[in-house]
Amino acid sequence: MKITGLSRIFKWENLHNWWLTKYFFAPLYIPPSLPLNHFLSLLSSQCGDYEDVPINKTWVLSPKVYESDVTLILNRLLQGYDNKLRPDIGVRPTVIETAVYVNSIGPVDPINMEYTIDIFFAQTWYDSRLKFNSSMKVLMLNSNMVGKIWIPDTFFRNSRKSDAHWITTPNRLLRLWNNGRVMYTLRLTINAECYLKLHNFPMDEHSCPLEFSSYGYPKNEILYRWQKRSVEVADQRYWRLYQFAFVGLRNTSDVAHTQSGEYVILTIFFDLSRRMGYFTIQTYIPCSMIVVLSWVSFWINKDAVPARTSLGITTVLTMTTLSTISRKSLPKVSYVTAMDLFVSVCFIFTFAALMEYGTLHYFTSNRQSKKDTDKKPQVVTPLFSLVNIRPGTSLLQMNNIAPYQDEDDYAYECLDGKDCTSFFCCFDDCRSGAWRENRMHVRVSKIDSYSRIFFPTAFGLFNLVYWIGYLYL
């Protein structure tokens, strides 16, 4: 008895409908990752589609009566309707409110400088010719009705290729409200241009735009506006960005001035940051290892010509191969990228290691050949004689002893000054003399020792400046 009484007083069905419209259809904060059905509900609720009014029982009709009612409404709306004319033509501009639901982004093609995006594109406007009086507030129609009413001629300005989805049925949605409001939604896959500035590649960041506007109506005929929370994105875990990471997005509005008039352009910028993991493994680490490998020759005996030569040539050829491979993932731009700089410096280090041994071998071999050529037969004379012999003692007198030449001491090469005219003087006997002032003395046999310190230090300093400059400056 109590339950029956309460039901008579509160009318539970009306209370249930009030709760649905109050808490389910009310505008809510939508998180960045938003399901599509919630997104469409948000578009509908933002324009006052649902009110806190109990649903009248007379709305619930039998299927036959409901179909005939909708058919009657549509026939009356289309009677005398001209879909070639925009709403309010000659009176005021038609305002098109737009919203985009991003289903997925990717892949990004750096070579062709384009990216692929899958979106649900929603447009909303008012057409006073489509107002109707009925207990039904909204008519949910399929794509068959699209060609019978006026639709905005929106096109994507930076699109190279666009495809609408037709399987298993055209992915288009049309809704008509009794106040003349129209919402048209369709699903599109677009290959859009994205100009990539690759100076900092592979530490680069890009903003890929998606621009759209009216094709034939200037701004005094059609005005495009963004709806609230007009751009939402789906779950990013299934996006095919691969080398890139999605940072965020922003939307703007602008006016383009052309010969045919001024057009309102709406743009969405998708901010992307490149992931370095792939290029670190494929390019940076191998190049660094090849440079370190080229330094091994500094610890190999300078007389091991085949070993040091083959090691140097192998490292140079390997660097050439790596530099060629690293450019395959890039368009043929005319400027130098960050990776080009790193690979080029690594190539210079490996080539310099090979040239170091070439220089060392030249001086040592040239010096030895001169020694053999200038060597003349000498008369053998007693090297010493025994004089002033005393009991228990003896004295050896040196006589006509040829001076011992150290490996790097070649006086005969420096006496005429032919080999000491350059800034670097490579022999011990060139240290003194007024004409040898302000010249640096470098021992040939010590070049390997100098290289063991110079090459690692220089390469370490280069890496320090390189990574700080590109990552933090």
245 and 322 assigned to the same domain: no
Backbone angles phi, psi at 368, to 5 degrees: -70, -35
Number of neighbouring beta carbons within 10 Å of residue 438:
5
Report which of 109, 97, 108, 110 is spatially closest to residue 42, judged by C-alpha positions: 97
Structure tokens, 37:
């059905």
Residue spans of the chain under pLDDT 70: 1-66, 366-445
Looking at 241, 275, 309, the residue that finishes a domain is: 275
164 and 259 assigned to the same domain: yes
Domain housing 115: 80-275
228 and 336 assigned to the same domain: no
226 and 152 assigned to the same domain: yes
Rounded to a whole number, what is the distance in angstroms from the first to the last CA of the chain? 79
Nearest-10 crossing angle of helices 338-374, 285-294: 10
Q: What is the pLDDT of residue 208?
A: 97
219 and 117 assigned to the same domain: yes
How many residues in total does the chain contain? 473
303 and 248 assigned to the same domain: no
Q: What is the pLDDT of residue 370?
A: 52
162 and 303 assigned to the same domain: no
Structure tokens, 423:
């800034």
254 and 282 assigned to the same domain: no
Report which of 282, 208, 307, 288 is spatially closest to residue 463, judged by C-alpha positions: 288
173 and 260 assigned to the same domain: yes
Q: What is the pLDDT of residue 135?
A: 83
Structure tokens, 334:
């005319």
Looking at 219, 253, 275, the residue that finishes a domain is: 275
Looking at 275, 300, 316, the residue that finishes a domain is: 275
253 and 240 assigned to the same domain: yes
For residue 283, the 8-state DSSP code is I
| Rounded-to-integer distance, Cα 222 and Cα 154, Å | 10
263 and 362 assigned to the same domain: no
Assess if residue 459 is contained within a domain.
yes
Backbone angles phi, psi at 131, to 5 degrees: -75, 145
For residue 309, the 8-state DSSP code is H
Assess if residue 56 is contained within a domain.
no
Report which of 85, 61, 57, 84 is spatially closest to residue 73, judged by C-alpha positions: 61
Instruction: Decide if 291 contacts 316 (C-beta within 8 A).
Output: no
Q: What is the CATH number of the domain that holds 324?
A: 1.20.58.390
Q: What is the CATH number of the domain that holds 247?
A: 2.70.170.10
259 and 291 assigned to the same domain: no
Q: What is the pLDDT of residue 153?
A: 95
- If one counts the domains in the chain, the total is 2
HEC profile of the chain = CHHHHHHHHHCHHHHHHHHHHHHCCCCCCCCCECCHHHHHHHHHHCCCCCCCCCCCHHHCCCHHHHHHHHHHHHHHHHCCCCCCCCCCCCCCCEEEEEEEEEEEEEEEECCCCEEEEEEEEEEEEECHHHCCCCCCCEEEECHHHHHHCCCCCEEECCEEEEEECCCCCCCEEEEEECCCEEEEEEEEEEEEECCCCCCCCCCCEEEEEEEEEECCCCCCCEEEEEEEEEEEECCHHHCCCCCEEEEEEEEEEEEEEECCEEEEEEEEEEEEEECCHHHHHHHHHHHHHHHHHHHHHHHCCCCCHHHHHHHHHHHHHHHHHHHHHHCCCCCCCCCCCHHHHHHHHHHHHHHHHHHHHHHHHHHHHHHHHHHHHHCCCCCCCCCEEEEEEECCEEEEEECCCCCCCCCCCCHHHHCCCHHHCCCEECCHHHCCCHHHCCCEECCHHHHHHHHHHHHHHHHHHHHHHHHHHHHHC
